[in-house]
Structure 1
Amino acid sequence: MGKKIIISIQRGIEVWLIFALTLFILGYFIFPTSSKQNTFFYIGVCIPIVLLLPAYFAKLKLQNWLIASTLIFSFYLFLNSLWSIHFSTEQTLRYLRYLFTLYCLFAAVLFVGYKKPNYSGFIFPALVVVGFFHSIYGIWDHFNTFKDPFLHRYSATYYNPIDSALRVGLLLLTCLWLMMESKTWRDKFLYLCLSIPFIIIILLAKSRGPQLALLVTLPFIAVFQEISFKKFTIFSLGILFAFGLVFFFSDSLKMLFSRGLTFPSRGEIWLVSIGESLEHFWFGQGASHKPSLKMADGGVFTHSHNILLAIFRMGGFIGASLFLVNLFLCFFAGFTERKRLEKLWVIWLLFGVLCLMTNGQYPLTRPTSLWFAYWIPIIFICASFSNFLPIRNRLIKMAGVLKE
């Protein structure tokens, strides 16, 4: 009797965990503040993961080098806080908390992928639908707030313009992917219509990083989907049609691109960041909370505005190498594995990393937009391509070579 009750409770926790993870991911377009979303994650996802740990502990194992490289890299991001030039116990405990919550996300995604192998087939359309209504409201609010809406940069709720463009950029790529996979013209037209508010927001946000990242990422959809020239032409015409609708209903082309294509202060920030990195080349200056970068003119910035340089600055050559190896394995899996829809996570990661190359910071953080663009796709790639570079097979081959 007691065992049945325990099993029933365990199943209830498992069902809740699947629901909670889904709500957390969709929550980037639902929760009114980041603190509420984070609180929900800590209570709704982290606690159930801890409760389920005894039941699944025996099944925990490193399946492939994707998972191993991700866990090693993320652990190193915490570890180098111990030799930070700005070391403090409070700061180290903060990064330990960040690592714990990240590992909880990792465990939750792996668990959901194990229980629901087709989870990606649900979450992608769900994100598009929820993001569509969120974007429609955001556009209405933007035009209702400003007398000259095209002169002001769009920012949704508690997100700045860059993060807003990053999030809807991921949704636009998802829309286009699903449009290409759709079998009927009705579904293709539906996804095309759903993509229009995402395009509007990307233009209104006037954020050049996500805009350029989008242009670089789009061709990879055609590569991963292995589409013919005819389909690619239709795909391109669909995008042009959506952009045409935006400009047809607004005489605003000049205002939308009024900020030009330059990246203010980025060059100077990056040079200062590289200079500091070279002073602590191998292991970096250590992770620290918002360490200032002082410019020659007296200006101060709190981060490197480039995820690779931020890792190089705080984690040194070792940290940057672990970051690049992890990215290489993720992208290589996308090109070699046959799972079709799951490759969309690789598209997400590519777009996210490109965006973070102009505004990224140290990746070990509390749940933020960086999680949405970087950690979530990486972890789903690990869960989706579990047979990629399996550790056990490699070790067996190595043992055989040593015996010979």
Structure 2
Amino acid sequence: MTQPRFLCILTTILGFVLLSSCGEERQRPVFEYTFTNPADVGSRYPNFYTDDSGTIYMSWIMGIEEDIYALQYSRMVGGRWTEPETVEVGTEFFVNWADFPSVVGHEGVATAAHWLRKIEGGPYAYNVEVALRDENGDRWSETVTPHNDGTPTEHGFVSMEPLGNGNTLVIWLDGRETAGRAHDEYSDFSKAMTLRSAEITPAGEVIRPRLIDDSVCDCCQTDLVKSDSEVYAVYRNRTEDEIRDIYLATYNIETGEWSTPDAVANDGWQISACPVNGPRIVADQDRLAVAWYTGADDSTRVQLAISSDRGESFSEPQVIAGGNTLGRSDLLLTEEGSIYVSWMANVNGLGEVTMRKVSPDGTAAMPFRVGLTGASRNSGFPRLADAGEFILVAWTQTDPNLKVRTARVPYSQ
């Protein structure tokens, strides 16, 4: 029996997955949050960066043809997207659902972009490539590689932050010590994955190379945020007992030195392999907030911890999501002090992009769903950005085709 037309409309408004007899796409955002974007069919793995002027840069990987990809981005100016720009096109992209490119900027102009380039030496041999924009913003420079070890190993999970002095701080997971490591040598911590950093000058010179941590989780994202004269880095550490908790280190822009990393929280998650779920951090003067996924105590959950003293100490973690969460979290901090946390939940094989507001007093509102996609790795990691009058959310749709989807969520939600 044919479904009545009004039932299709009602189902859409309520935000449920539409019945196939309605002739609508199975995966779609909740109706009232839909927001168009310039990424075409074949786009995937969006990333956001918001600069000091409030300009939002959304970057993504675009599939051109088989084995040909492009790094593209658009800026949001006055609530509207600019025409997409292409940074790089080629056949040597290392494309990964969890390790995706970024574009960062300063005063409304894109200043640096990064992606991963495959090199000879094996399926997981690739370098970090960074391109800089010239002073006039007219063209991208020849690429710079922030590491000079020359090993055919993994280099990725990059975070970048313009420092305000023209230089760009870059951190990345660096596999140089894993070169030649046999499978049964994984517990040899002299051959562990490391976390390293460097600054890149406007002229493309790599300066101030630093080792931040000599043993970290192999494939979890890193994150950076700048506040005044410091930059904060968060990542997943790895101990000799295979405890993989979230750590924070602070970079002094003047001296170019890192603090000794310390745990944001002692979850005690003992796991012998990488969970592919990195932390996210936001800052506002003395206040920091970190969101992350853990499976400690056989309980999968997304947690939030807050520091009021620039990371010297953190509150006890607050559980934001549990049960069916896949993690893949992000967060943003509003001017009035509220925090919005996002994550992906597995609901009957679908990936629900879900958000929750935490008020300044710590009260957590009811979670709400923003969009739907697949629960597979191809759906990537949803991302949040503060667009002034609303929250911008991006994720990868997996069915019927890969495509970046975006939604706008009012702060009154």
Larger helix fraction of residues: 1
Structure number with larger C-alpha Rg: 1
Indicate whether the TM-score tops 0.5. no
Q: TM-score of the superposition, structure 2-length normalised? A: 0.26
